[in-house]
Amino acid sequence: MPEEGTGKVIPAGSPLPDRTVQGLISIILATYDERENIRKSIETIFSIIPAPVEVIVVDDDSPDGTWKVVEEMADPRVVLVRRTRTRGLASAIVRGIVESRGSIVCWWDADMPKCVERVPDMLSALETADVVVGSRYAEGGSDERDPVRVLTSKLLNGMATLVLGYGIRDYDSGVVVLRRRVFDYALPEPSGFGEYFIGFIYTCCRKGLRVVEVPYTLTERDRGISKSSPSLLRFLRLGVSYSMAIWKARLFPGD
Ligand SMILES: Nc1nc2c(ncn2[C@@H]2O[C@H](COP(=O)(O)OP(=O)(O)O)[C@@H](O)[C@H]2O)c(=O)[nH]1
Ligand SMILES: [Mg+2]
């Protein structure tokens, strides 16, 4: 697709173009077949998180019509991005970042309204940090999903903590609250499922940003099917991919 040139030169070392709305909290929800969860997730956000808040739903043309539910809500605080030309969790999060305007940016799964209850504490922690990760393994956190998923997650995160360090215990949490300026230092890699989180958090730590964990409890999804473990094969494949992401971050950290 041909690019339109503007002739504008951005000076070396400039931060990202600044269209930030100070004080606005942008919350990104990537969705695929979350028809049964999305309304409650959005309503919970507005009932718990202090305004001003914008919710950005990035839906990949879900066959179950998740996008339609959001469209019908017709809430001016909600931005809907319906992607039809690409798919994937990581690239959806990045698209949400591109659309966001808040000086604080957050994201988590669209199937877990319960985790929103921890967000006020995460926002308080952000007063003295750049990145706040919702952590199942910090003191007080827990994982109440089925034992196989809990064990796999513990093994992966145990390895990540050993290999990557910085005291982070939940390297693939996927629940985060951060300051927009973090994107001047690190951006998630827009490919794959939840692997992006490992490299992203590691880069934030490596670049000297203040990354802290706040405990939360991960429960089974309210309704619908998990996209990371709809089958044993997909689950195992992702396990290998997450392990590789840990080693890739350590051995080929990039700039
Ligand atoms: N936009 C988009 N979102 C996705 C895709 N796959 C999963 N998601 C969303 O990513 C989040 C995590 O997926 P989920 O099924 O909960 O995975 P799990 O938590 O590992 O069981 C949920 O909000 C999903 O709806 C995708 O291909 N595109
Ligand atoms: Mg989930």
Query: Which ligand 1 atom minimizes the distance to the CA of 59?
Result: 1
Domain limits for position 88: 21-251
Q: What is the DSSP letter of 166?
A: T
**Ligand 2 midpoint to CA 240 (Å):** 19
**Ligand 1 midpoint to CA 6 (Å):** 36
Residue 8: predicted pLDDT:
66
Residue 16: predicted pLDDT:
57
Does residue 66 sit within a domain?
A: yes
H/E stretch holding 22 reads strand 21-31
CA separation, residue 149 to residues 107, 145, 188, 228, 238 (Å): 21, 7, 24, 10, 12
Mean pLDDT per 10-residue run, the chain (255 residues)? Answer: 60 70 97 96 96 97 97 96 96 97 97 91 98 97 92 95 97 97 96 96 98 96 85 90 96 89
Residue 19: predicted pLDDT:
80
For ligand 1, atom 21, which residue shows the shortest CA distance?
Answer: 226
**Ligand 1 midpoint to CA 193 (Å):** 8
Q: What DSSP string describes 28-52?
A: EEEESS-TTTHHHHHHHHHHHSPSS
Query: Which ligand 1 atom minimizes the distance to the CA of 226?
Result: 15
Does residue 59 sit within a domain?
A: yes
- What does the block give as tokens for 139? 């003191």
How many structural domains is the chain composed of? 1
**Ligand 1 midpoint to CA 172 (Å):** 13
Query: Which ligand 1 atom minimizes the distance to the CA of 60?
Result: 1
Residue 230: predicted pLDDT:
80
Does residue 16 sit within a domain?
A: no
Does residue 171 sit within a domain?
A: yes
Residue 3: predicted pLDDT:
57
Does residue 3 sit within a domain?
A: no
Does residue 15 sit within a domain?
A: no
- Closest ligand to the CA of 149: 1
Give the list of residues 6+ apart from residue 198 with CB closer than 8 angstroms, or none.
Answer: 160, 164, 171, 172, 242, 245, 246, 249
Ligand 1 contacts (CB < 6 A) are: 30-32, 34, 58-60, 87-89, 92, 109-111, 221, 226-229
For ligand 1, atom 27, which residue shows the shortest CA distance?
Answer: 88
Does residue 106 sit within a domain?
A: yes
- CATH number of the domain where residue 225 is located: 3.90.550.10
Q: What is the DSSP letter of 222?
A: S
- Closest ligand to the CA of 41: 1
C-alpha span between 209 and 206 (Å, rounded):
8
For a mutational test of ligand 1's pocket, the pick from 79, 80, 193, 227, i.e. the residue with the most ligand atoms closer than 8 A to its C-beta, is: 227
Does residue 30 sit within a domain?
A: yes
Q: Is 72 helix (H, G, I), strand (E, B) or coil?
A: helix
CA dihedral (133, 135, 141, 143) positive or negative: positive
Give pTM, 2 decimals.
0.93
